[in-house]
C-alpha cells in the first residue's frame, strides 16, 4: 500500500476540502485526509485504485491544482504576492472612482462619473477579474454537487452588473444603475479573502517555524587520498545515515546525529519546548533543528533530514490537523447544504419583497445583499482554525497530538491514571542493595548473571542493573526471551532455566515480595536486588494541579504495593492499584473508562495495551517505541510537567471551537434576515460584502488568540 502526500492549491473553504475528500473517496482511496489549513492532502493507494497521475488530473479538473509532493516543495523560498492582494490592488482604483459620486463632499466635482458609459468602462475590468477568480470555482463546485461561497458571490455580482448593463442600454437614469455595487462586491470580497488568508497563515506560524528549520546548509566532512580532512557545504536534505558533519557554535544541527568528538551546549527549544541549553558530549545525540549555542563537534548522521525527529514532529502535527474531530461533523453537514439553502432564501427574498414593495430594483438589491452577506466559510473554518492553532502551540511547547480528536477529548477527562516507574519517577535507578540467598553463588557471580540477563531488556530497572553491573565476561545463552510483566528468561546450553524479573517469577520461593529484581535458577531463588528510584521533581505539582481541577488521580503499576504506596502517599495520589500484569492493566483501564473518561500516562512496553485502550493515552518521548506508537499524545523533554499544558490546550481549544461555531451560526442567522428585510439601506450589497469579508477574519483572529491565551 502506497502512502501519497500532496500539496494542493486553490482550496479556500470547507466545501473545497469536502469536494476534494469526496472525490478521492469515490476513486476508492482509503485513509483520505484533507488539511484545509495547510492545503495538504494524503491518502493510501489501495490495490485496484486508479493511477495517481489520473487522480492528479481529476483534482485539477475540480478547479484545484496539485503543485507537488509534500517535502519536495521548497517552503523556504519567498512567496509571491498574495493573489487576492494583487487583484485587489488592480480593482481598488476603479472601485474608488465609481464610489466618488456617493460622497456628498466631492459629489459636485465629479458630475462626469454619473455618465453610465464611464461607470460601465470602470466596472467592466473589475467584474472581469471577479469572474476570472470566482466564476470558474463556482461552476466547478456546482458541477460536483458541492456549491461553495463563490456561487453566491458570482450570482450576486452578475445580477447587479447585468441589471445595470440592461438599464444603461434602456437609458435609465444613473441613480438606478448599480455598477459601483458590482465593483464593491468584487473588491470587498477580494479584501476579505486577503485578510482571511493572512490571518489563517498566522494560525500555521508555529508549524511554519518548524518547517523552515528543516532546510539548512551542513558542513560535511570527507577525506582525500592522503587522508586529509576536507570540509564542504551541502544542503541537509542530501545527508544520509553515516555521513560525517562538523557543527560550529551558533549553527543549526542539520540532521539527527551522534557526537563523535567535541562538546557543546545545545538549545533544543524548537523541538522540545525546553528553553535552557543542554550540555552534550561524546556519544550524545543531537536533534536536527536544534541550535548549538556554544561549542564545536564532529558528528555522524543517524537519520536523514526527512526521517528526523523534527520531520516526524511536523508530519504528526500535519496528520492531526487533517483529522476531523467529532464537533466538526455537524458543521460539515451544514456547510454541504448551506449554499443551496441561501439560494432558496435569496429567491424567496426577491419574490416576497417584489410582491410587498412592487419595486423590482429594491427587491433585486435586497436579494443580492442576501447573497453576498451569507458566509458558509465561517462554519467550515470554525474547527480547523482552532485545531491548527492548538496543535501548533502544542508542538512549539513540546506536546505532540497524533490526532485532533485527542485535543477535543481532553475536555472530558475526569481521572488520570499514572504508571509509576519512568512516569512519576525518573526511571533512573541506583542499586540500593544486592542480597545473595543461595550460598553456592558469590556476589560477583550474581552480578555477572544479572547483567547477562538484564542487558536484553529495555525496562528502566533492567537498564539500571545492566549499567551498574556492566562487564565483558558474560554467560552465553541458548535462548533468551523477555516476557512482559515478568522479566527476562534464558536457557543455557545445559538446559538450565534462569530468570531475572519481578516477584512473580519466584512464587513460594520467598515470603518477600518487596524487592525489585529476583534472580532465579530452575525455580530456585538465588538472589534479589533492591533499587531506589527518585520521584520526578515536577510530579507533585502536576498531581496538585489535577486535584485543583477536580480530576481524580490513580497510580496503576506492575510494581509491588509496598513500593507504590510511599510514592502515592508523597504525591497525594487518590488511589493505588499495584501488582498488575499488562492484561490486568488493560482490564482496569477498560473498567475505569466505563465509569468516566480516563487518561493514562505511561512509558513502558507493558503500558502499551492500556495506553491504546484509554480515552487518551499519553507517553513521554523517552518512553519505549511501543508506548509512543500506541499513545495519542507524546510529551517531549519536559515530560510529565507538560501534562497540565496539554490538558489546558485541549480544554481551551474546544472552548475556541465553540466560540467560533457560535459566531458562525449567529452571524448567518442574524445577517441574512437583516439583508433580506432591507435593514442595510440603499447600499445593502456593499455593506453585505464588507461584513461578510470581515466575518471570517473575526473567527481566525479568535483562533489566533490561543497562541497567547493563558490555558494553565
Supply the residues annotated as catalytic: 419
First to last CA, the chain: 42
Q: At what angle do helices 376-396 and 205-212 cross, to 10 degrees?
A: 50
132 three-state secondary structure: helix
What's the distance, CA 95 to chain centroid? 41
Kindly state the cell numbers that stand for 168. 444603461
DSSP code per residue over 102-114 = G-HHHHTT-GGGG
Kindly state the cell numbers that stand for 165. 448593463
In 174-290, beta strands by DSSP E: 217-223, 229-235, 244-247, 257-267, 278-280, 285-286
Could you tell me which residues come within 8 angstroms of residue 453 by beta carbon, excluding any fewer than 6 positions away?
480, 487, 488, 490, 498, 499, 500, 519
Q: How many CB atoms lie within 10 A of CB 512?
A: 15
Give the span between the Cα atoms of 613 and 119, in whole angstroms. Answer: 67
Local structure of residue 644 (DSSP, 8 states)? H
Please identify which residue in the block is written with the cell numbers 536536527.
288
Please identify which residue in the block is written with the cell numbers 513460594.
508
Tell me whether strands 616-620 and 633-635 are parallel, antiparallel or unpaired.
parallel
Residues 178, 102 contacting (CB under 8 angstroms) = no
DSSP code per residue over 394-417 = HHHTTEEES-HHHHHHGGG--EEE
420 three-state secondary structure: helix
Give the span between the Cα atoms of 491 and 23, in whole angstroms. Answer: 58
Q: How many CB atoms lie within 10 A of CB 368?
A: 31
Tell me whether strands 598-601 and 616-620 are parallel, antiparallel or unpaired.
parallel
Distances 493 to 329, 474, 527 between C-alpha atoms, Å: 61, 14, 22
Give the span between the Cα atoms of 590 and 586, in whole angstroms. Answer: 6
Give the span between the Cα atoms of 64 and 54, in whole angstroms. Answer: 14
Residues 644, 712 contacting (CB under 8 angstroms) = yes
709 three-state secondary structure: coil
Residues 23, 7 contacting (CB under 8 angstroms) = no
Give the span between the Cα atoms of 676 and 65, in whole angstroms. Answer: 37
Amino acid at each position: 500500500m502506497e502512502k501519497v502526500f500532496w500539496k494542493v492549491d486553490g482550496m479556500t473553504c470547507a466545501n473545497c476540502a469536502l469536494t476534494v475528500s469526496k472525490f478521492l473517496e469515490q476513486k476508492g482511496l482509503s485513509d483520505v485526509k484533507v488539511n484545509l489549513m495547510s492545503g495538504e492532502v494524503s491518502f493510501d493507494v489501495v490495490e485496484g485504485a486508479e493511477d495517481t497521475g489520473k487522480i492528479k488530473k481529476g483534482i485539477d479538473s475540480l478547479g484545484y491544482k496539485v503543485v507537488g509532493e509534500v517535502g519536495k516543495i521548497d517552503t523556504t523560498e519567498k512567496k509571491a504576492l498574495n493573489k487576492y492582494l494583487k487583484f485587489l490592488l488592480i480593482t481598488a482604483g476603479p472601485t474608488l472612482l465609481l464610489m466618488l459620486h456617493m460622497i456628498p463632499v466631492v459629489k459636485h466635482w465629479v458630475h462626469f462619473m454619473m455618465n453610465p458609459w464611464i461607470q460601465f468602462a470602470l466596472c467592466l475590468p473589475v467584474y472581469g477579474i471577479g469572474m476570472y477568480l470566482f466564476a470558474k470555482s463556482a461552476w466547478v463546485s456546482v458541477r460536483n454537487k458541492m456549491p461553495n461561497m463563490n456561487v453566491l458571490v458570482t450570482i450576486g455580482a452578475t445580477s447587479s452588473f447585468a441589471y445595470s448593463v440592461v438599464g444603461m442600454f434602456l437609458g435609465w437614469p444613473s441613480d438606478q444603475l448599480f455598477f459601483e455595487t458590482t465593483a464593491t462586491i468584487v473588491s470587498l470580497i477580494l479584501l476579505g479573502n486577503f485578510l482571511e488568508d493572512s490571518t489563517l497563515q498566522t494560525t500555521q506560524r508555529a508549524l511554519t517555524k518548524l518547517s523552515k528549520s528543516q532546510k539548512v546548509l551542513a558542513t560535511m566532512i570527507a577525506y582525500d587520498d592522503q587522508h586529509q580532512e576536507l570540509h564542504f557545504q551541502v544542503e541537509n536534505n542530501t545527508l544520509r545515515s553515516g555521513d560525517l558533519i562538523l557543527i560550529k557554535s551558533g549553527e543549526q544541527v542539520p540532521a539527527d546525529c551522534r557526537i563523535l568528538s567535541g562538546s557543546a551546549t545545545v538549545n533544543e527549544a524548537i523541538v522540545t519546548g525546553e528553553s535552557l541549553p543542554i550540555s552534550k558530549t561524546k556519544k550524545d545525540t543531537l536533534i536536527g533543528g536544534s541550535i548549538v549555542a556554544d561549542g564545536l563537534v564532529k558528528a555522524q548522521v543517524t537519520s536523514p533530514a526527512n526521517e528526523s525527529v523534527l520531520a516526524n514532529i511536523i508530519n504528526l502535527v500535519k496528520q492531526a490537523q487533517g483529522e476531523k474531530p467529532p464537533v466538526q461533523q455537524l458543521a460539515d453537514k451544514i456547510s454541504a447544504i448551506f449554499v443551496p439553502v441561501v439560494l432558496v432564501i435569496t429567491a424567496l427574498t426577491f419574490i416576497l419583497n417584489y410582491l410587498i414593495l412592487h419595486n423590482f430594483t429594491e427587491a433585486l438589491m435586497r436579494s443580492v445583499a442576501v447573497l453576498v452577506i451569507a458566509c458558509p466559510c465561517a462554519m467550515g473554518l470554525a474547527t480547523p482554525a482552532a485545531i491548527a492553532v492548538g496543535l501548533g502551540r502544542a508542538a512549539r511547547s513540546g506536546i505532540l497530538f497524533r490526532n485532533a480528536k485527542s485535543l477535543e477529548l481532553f475536555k472530558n477527562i475526569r481521572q488520570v491514571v499514572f504508571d509509576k516507574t519512568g512516569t512519576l519517577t525518573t526511571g533512573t535507578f541506583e542499586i540500593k542493595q544486592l542480597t545473595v540467598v543461595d550460598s553456592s553463588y558469590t556476589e560477583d557471580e550474581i552480578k555477572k548473571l544479572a547483567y547477562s540477563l538484564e542487558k536484553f531488556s529495555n525496562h528502566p530497572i533492567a537498564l539500571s542493573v545492566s549499567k551498574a553491573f556492566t562487564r565483558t565476561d558474560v554467560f552465553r545463552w541458548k535462548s533468551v526471551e523477555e516476557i512482559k510483566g515478568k522479566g527476562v528468561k534464558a536457557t543455557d546450553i545445559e538446559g538450565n532455566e534462569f530468570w531475572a524479573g519481578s516477584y512473580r517469577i519466584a512464587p513460594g520461593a520467598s515470603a518477600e515480595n518487596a524487592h525489585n529484581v529476583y534472580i532465579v535458577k530452575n525455580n530456585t531463588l538465588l538472589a534479589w536486588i533492591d533499587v531506589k528510584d527518585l520521584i520526578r521533581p515536577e510530579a507533585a505539582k502536576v498531581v496538585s494541579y489535577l486535584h485543583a481541577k477536580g480530576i481524580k488521580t490513580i497510580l496503576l503499576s506492575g510494581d509491588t504495593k509496598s513500593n507504590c504506596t510511599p510514592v502515592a502517599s508523597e504525591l497525594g495520589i487518590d488511589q493505588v492499584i499495584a501488582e498488575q500484569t499488562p492484561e490486568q492493566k488493560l482490564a482496569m483501564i477498560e473498567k475505569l473508562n466505563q465509569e468516566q473518561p480516563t487518561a493514562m500516562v505511561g512509558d513502558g512496553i507493558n503500558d502499551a495495551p492500556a495506553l491504546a485502550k484509554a480515552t487518551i493515552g499519553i507517553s513521554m518521548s523517552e518512553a519505549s517505541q511501543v508506548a509512543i506508537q500506541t499513545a495519542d499524545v507524546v510529551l517531549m523533554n519536559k515530560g510529565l510537567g507538560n501534562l497540565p499544558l496539554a490538558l489546558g490546550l485541549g480544554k481551551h481549544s474546544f472552548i475556541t471551537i465553540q466560540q467560533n461555531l457560535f459566531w458562525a451560526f449567529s452571524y448567518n442567522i442574524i445577517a441574512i434576515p437583516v439583508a433580506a428585510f432591507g435593514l442595510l439601506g440603499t447600499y445593502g450589497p456593499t455593506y453585505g460584502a464588507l461584513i461578510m469579508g470581515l466575518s471570517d477574519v473575526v473567527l481566525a483572529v479568535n483562533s489566533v488568540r490561543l497562541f497567547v491565551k493563558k490555558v494553565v
